[in-house]
Chain A
Amino acid sequence: MAWTWFHRLGSPPYLYGLAARLTPWFAWSAALCIFAGTYGGLFLAPADYQQGDDFRIIYVHAPSAWMSLMVYTTMAVSAAVGLIWRIKVSHAVAAACAPIGASFTLVALVTGSLWGYRMWGTYWEWDPRLTSELILFFLYLGYMGLRSSIDDTQRADRASAVLAVVGVVNVPIIHFSVTWWNSLHQAPSVMQLAAPTMPASMLIPLLLMFLGFTLMFAALLLVRLQAEILTRERTANWMREAVAS
């Protein structure tokens, strides 16, 4: 009995309505957190004694990098749920995740390279984290490429779900091998940010940005999920009624 709320999530009409109702809550709390975090990061946090004001890009870079991995994990978990229990809306969630995750990865790459330019003097350094991030971006591209090249939605769902699961198993291996490769070829990275030594005025805006980005992902995911359900259920009767009303 207690599980009925959970089962209802698998029903497209219920989830469509729920997503529509929840979106503003996530969107506004994300906006609030990101605004507060940006203000704190740009005006309240002191300049870094080594990097000056350049370090402030961390308030965009680190949350994006974190989100790029979290979205991939979310995508793989919902893909696996869809594959194992054959829940159609889980595949819709996975499909909705991919472009968001790819965008976060791209933001992390661009901000990382801009930061690298100020710190290392070059736009691209084969730093292990940047390299892993680049490979993650390729994984997202592969996932979206596979999905878009199969016309049948159900087959595209299940094939890309296998790819997402294979990818998420490989992400730690790729990260380990890239770190190992890098440690042989170059001195440890210049950027050593130890989080605990950050003063609170620097750390709190960063945590707010992390929270804000996570909430923003939830809001974007819900919007994209509605669009996915609209496309997938376009012939269903409930959808005609929902759109007509």
Chain B
Amino acid sequence: MSTSASLIEIRGTGTSALEAARLTLARDIRLAFRKRGQLVQPLAFFAIVTTLFPLGISPELSRLRDVAPGVLWVAALLSSLLALEFLFRDDAQDGTLEQHVLSGQSLTWLLFAKTVAHWLLTGLPLAVMAPLAALSLGVPAASVGGIVASVAIGSVALSLIGSVGAALTLGVKRSGALLSLLTLPLSMPVLIFGARATELAIKGEGFAAPLYLLGALAVFGITLAPLAAAAAVRISLE
């Protein structure tokens, strides 16, 4: 403990926590844009899953409209789960994450920055994509705003919940199934409120109430998830 404390004193003086977080955010986004193929994968996955439902249920738009909120949110949940692999995996493999732990900077802030970058790269594009998928399910065009808002806010919470799961499974080989077992039960409130907001938006009713609850989940996640993720990363890299 004493060595790590002295490291903080020596190295932590140069850059403030916020500055380090900003630099990490910029680095993650720059790196992601150098591998554009990876960025498109979760979106393509989302598009494919939403295509499967009309093929599996029926091409009738009236029936699809009823299940559209559920389809959109389950697809969003699955594609955010798929995208979680990119959150820490590369950095854990090349040792960057270890350097983050040793840097003396607040690991909580650094991981929060990484999660924000992850949301900007996967959650936000998903929110932009969702209306396209929704329109193909026969949803009225007027509901697009509500769908974008609910997916954008809900995916913040999903990214944060996922960051804890991804951090816990860092050292586990072939962690895909385990990661879904850890994060999906915790994501169910997001699914419930998100699908409800989308449903109300599709019906043309006020969707503020479930959207506020989604926002509450996101704020709650912002407050606590980076702390848990930091503890989990430290344990996984021990």
Contacts and interface: CB of A to CB of B under 8 A. Distances in A.
B102 to A, nearest CB: 18
A135 B193 CA distance: 16
Nearest to A148: B178
Given A180-B192, A184-B196, A138 B164 contact: no
A140 to B, nearest CB: 10
Contacts of B164: 162-163, 166
A138 B181 contact: yes
Given A173-B189, A177-B188, A180-B192, A165 B236 contact: no
Contact of A174 (B175, B181, B189, B236): B189
Nearest to B193: A177
Contact of B178 (A146, A162, A173): A146
B184 interface: yes
Interface string A139-166: 1011001100110001100110011011
A176 B188 CA distance: 11
B228 A166 contact: yes
Interface stretch (B10-18, B55-63, B109-117, B166-174): B166-174
B185 A169 contact: no
A122 interface: no
B181 A159 contact: no
B232 A162 contact: yes
B75 to A, nearest CB: 19
Interface string B187-203: 01100110010000000
B contact patch SS: helix
A158 B224 CA distance: 18
B188 A178 contact: yes
A155 B148 CA distance: 40
A50 B92 CA distance: 60
Contact of B224 (A145, A169, A174): A169
Given A154-B238, A162-B231, A170-B189, 17 more contacts: A139-B185, A141-B181, A142-B185, A149-B172, A149-B175, A155-B236, A155-B238, A159-B232, A159-B235, A166-B228, A170-B186, A173-B189, A173-B217, A177-B188, A177-B192, A178-B192, A181-B192
14 contacts: A138-B185, A146-B168, A149-B175, A150-B171, A159-B235, A159-B236, A165-B228, A166-B228, A173-B217, A174-B188, A174-B189, A176-B189, A178-B192, A181-B192
Interface of B: 164, 168-169, 171-172, 175, 178, 181-182, 184-186, 188-189, 192-193, 196, 213, 217, 220, 224, 228, 231-232, 235-236, 238
